[in-house]
Amino acid sequence: MNPAPTTHESNDSHAAPRTVLDASDISRALTRIAHEILERNRGADPVVLLGIPTRGVGLATRIRDRIAAVEERSVPTGSLDVTMYRDDIGLKPARALEHTDIPPGGIDGKVVVLVDDVLFSGRTIRAALDAIGDIGRPKAVQLAVLVDRGHRELPIRADYVGKNLPTSLVERVTVHLSEYDEEDAVVIADKPAPERRPAGAGPTASGGRTVGGEGQGASAPGSAGAGPTASGGRSVGGGAQDAPVPASGEGTTGKADEEVQAR
């Protein structure tokens, strides 16, 4: 298995932005993820793709198109706004609401594959699990991300990872997609100083609910035996492949024996 993304603390606070994935890297990663989704779910039948706005929606659409090219059918694809489920509401500047668009067949009994561009603290995905819980009861929820940059604050892992990217907390990963930006690229750059969260800052918003330490790679991808899923026991799903937590290295899907069941 390829190594999980490590984390490191950089002393070089003004490194030049660098492109870590270009358009063809992104394209190849999405093609691989589409195949992995089909392989793991034995085809497209049970799958519903839900992108998390903004760029998760574009990525979900691209994965849908790749699945269609292989299976000659289009999997239901929609979007899931998690804004009202975030645990930092009131602590950070208000965010605009995005679209939730659930495909007509709904999500009950389906395998929902959440799609996002970056996995970092895991708080967005925790919010997504809560949002899903208010919509229906899928058979399973899986998680696909283009970039896993480590630094998890919650016991969440992705099932499908485009690229595991070791990062420092002073850095920010930005995904550019041609649907929204001028090009396809993943860029890593230093954050402006005010945006940096100090090492050991602990919970950002959840009143002591954070699991794992900042910068410790808590439940980072690749760590077997990670704890429960992210929504305080409310996670959906019921099978061995049910929660968006399995370990995965770059180019690998999570293995069933490393997965944690959500009940």
Ligand X SMILES: O=c1cc[nH]c(=O)[nH]1
By CB under 6 A, name the one of 115, 141, 154, 173 that touches ligand X: 173
Interface region with ligand PRP, contact rule CB under 6 A, candidates 52-60, 105-113, 182-190, 248-256: 52-60
By a kind-dependent CB cut-off of 5 to 8 A, residue 119 interacts, out of ligand X, ligand PRP, none, with: ligand PRP
Pick from ligand PRP, ligand X, none: which does 122 bind, CB < 5 to 8 A by kind?
A: ligand PRP
Phi and psi at residue 128, to the nearest 5°: -65, -40
Residues 209 and 243 sit within 8 Å (Cβ to Cβ): no
The span from the CA of 255 to the CA of 36, in Å, is 12
Residue 255 Cβ vs ligand X, minimum distance, rounded to whole Å: 26
Residues 6+ apart with CB under 8 A from 45: none
For residues 109 and 213, which CB has a smaller minimum distance to ligand PRP in the complex? 213
To ligand PRP, the closest distance from the beta carbon of 143 in angstroms equals 11
Residue partners of 167: CB distance under 8 A and separation at least 6 = 5, 7, 8, 149, 150, 151, 173, 188
**Token couple for 129:** 């699990």
CA distance 43 to 39: 6
Q: Is there binding between residue 54 and ligand PRP (CB under 6 A)?
A: yes
Q: How many residues bind ligand X (CB under 6 A)?
A: 5
User: Does position 160 bind ligand PRP by CB under 6 A?
Assistant: no
- Three-state SS for 79? strand
Alpha helices in the chain (DSSP H): 23-40, 55-71, 123-133
We find the least distance from the C-beta atom of residue 171 to ligand PRP, in angstroms, to be 13
Q: Kindly state the smallest distance separating residue 148's Cβ from ligand X, in Å.
A: 11
User: What is the maximal distance between C-alpha atoms in the chain?
Assistant: 51
Q: How far is the CB of 187 from ligand X (least distance, A)?
A: 10
Write out the binding residues for ligand PRP, residues 107-136 only, by CB under 6 A: 116-124
Q: Does 120 bind ligand X (CB under 6 A)?
A: yes
Nearer to ligand X, 41 or 210 (CB): 210
What is the rounded CA–CA span in Å between residue 258 and residue 108? Answer: 25
Q: Where on the chain is the footprint of ligand X (CB under 6 A)?
A: 118, 120, 149, 172-173
Residues found near ligand PRP in the complex (CB under 6 A):
52, 54-55, 116-124
